[in-house]
Structure 1
Amino acid sequence: MNELGKKTLLIVDDEPDIRHLLCDALAQKGYQVVDAENGVQMWRCLDEQPVDLVLMDLYLQEEDGLQLAREVRQRFDDMPIMMLTGKGDETDRILGLELAADDYMMKPFNLRELTARIHALLRRSARQTSPQPINSDHDCLYFGKWTLDLTSRQLRDQQGEEVILTLGEFSLLETLATRPDRVLSREQIIDLSRGLETEVFDRTVDVLILRLRRKLETNPKAPEFIKTQRGLGYLFQGPVAKSMS
């Protein structure tokens, strides 16, 4: 964040028109925006000033945006990263985004939705100085050591520490946890989840499942909560307690 308190966004895209569009639109929303057309310029920006979020094109002319995102993730572990992808990209490629990116959107994108999702990523990545108690009138779900606050849309562990979830991750977890011990197909999950309206690939669900398991499960390869039902979909293993705490 800069000295004026504005969040700083870094746009990495080799299309000048896209960079200019995003810079103008996001600046109007109150962000400070810097841009780069390649990896060299990106690293220069990251070295010269603090950046709060990177918005990167998956396919750059001479570089792999996904590899750049991985390198950013290695150096800045908590840096929110959003990828922009074309509608023609292979779903296997989309699946690979779970290794580096926090969220992604398809081109052409809706500026209002993009801005909302950037805001959500920034809000979820804000570091909490101390655990915050659950508000007494919030609608919550309880499973294992976890509290899922449906009102504030937050996930907390038994110490009250928030685990940062993206919009899509929270929406998927809410969809599963509100329907415990019920097998849901990928198509049903997409239909039921409020956060997946524009992410229509079946593989998108697999991406988010992998992310959630890394955050929820003691051993993601042997999940306690999110179970795979081969050929059918996924099941959230109960019990789940509901409470107006």
Structure 2
Amino acid sequence: MGPSGSGKTTLARCLVGLHRPAGGEISLEGTRLAPDVRRRTPDQRRAVQLVAQDSMGALNPRETVTAALTRPLRARGLPRTRVPGLVAELLGRVHLPASLADRRPPALSGGERQRVNLARALACAPRVLVCDEVTSALDAEIGEAVLGLLDELRRDLGLGVVLITHDLAAVARSASRVLVVHEGRSWSGAPPRRCCRGRGTTSPACWWSTPRTRASARPRPDHPPPCPAAPVRCQPRVRLRSCQKRE
């Protein structure tokens, strides 16, 4: 999690191999992944799937939902005769009616398009979903439903989910561990439910909830900055009690 412009989307693109990192390495279940998606094996490419923030831009507006879901199914080598049944199964998995299969993205709501994006990622049989701000363009009720769907997929399919967000409520609801990204640096914190029990006066989670008034408020290179008390109207729901810079 982190404020806008902190590098969250760049990190997501690095994980799926669409952006080459300047250093470090990416591994999945002990297997090192090439930084460039073109150098990964087909199984490795399918294993880590990105669900983008812009649900309309991620879908071809000229393609029907069936066409969008058919391509990854066929790429897995599945016979064409099985595709219609699997399309209906995928739509049911993300709680969409089969009647939407013949529609195109402009005829869908924002929540429906995001669920189609999730279904398309699931068509690849992934092990990890990288969800980049998947609820930021949705209203509160629809966003809550999408987060509930992600929890269900994680529980039922055993998926790993990397949820990238700046929404503290979403972190409190869904996250088991937190990595805070801020101004090109990262800190790994304790589980959010444990963090909720303290006042968290040094929480990087609320850096972007409270306006800075002095240049001295910038974080020191070796330690996250203190968090001043936020006004009641924007009091963060989650505060990390303590963090350590990731080496």
Length-normalised TM-score, structure 1: 0.29
The structure number with the bigger radius of gyration is 2
More strand by share: 1
Length-normalised TM-score, structure 2: 0.29
More helix by share: 2
Q: Which has the higher contact order (CA 8 A, sep 6+)?
A: 2
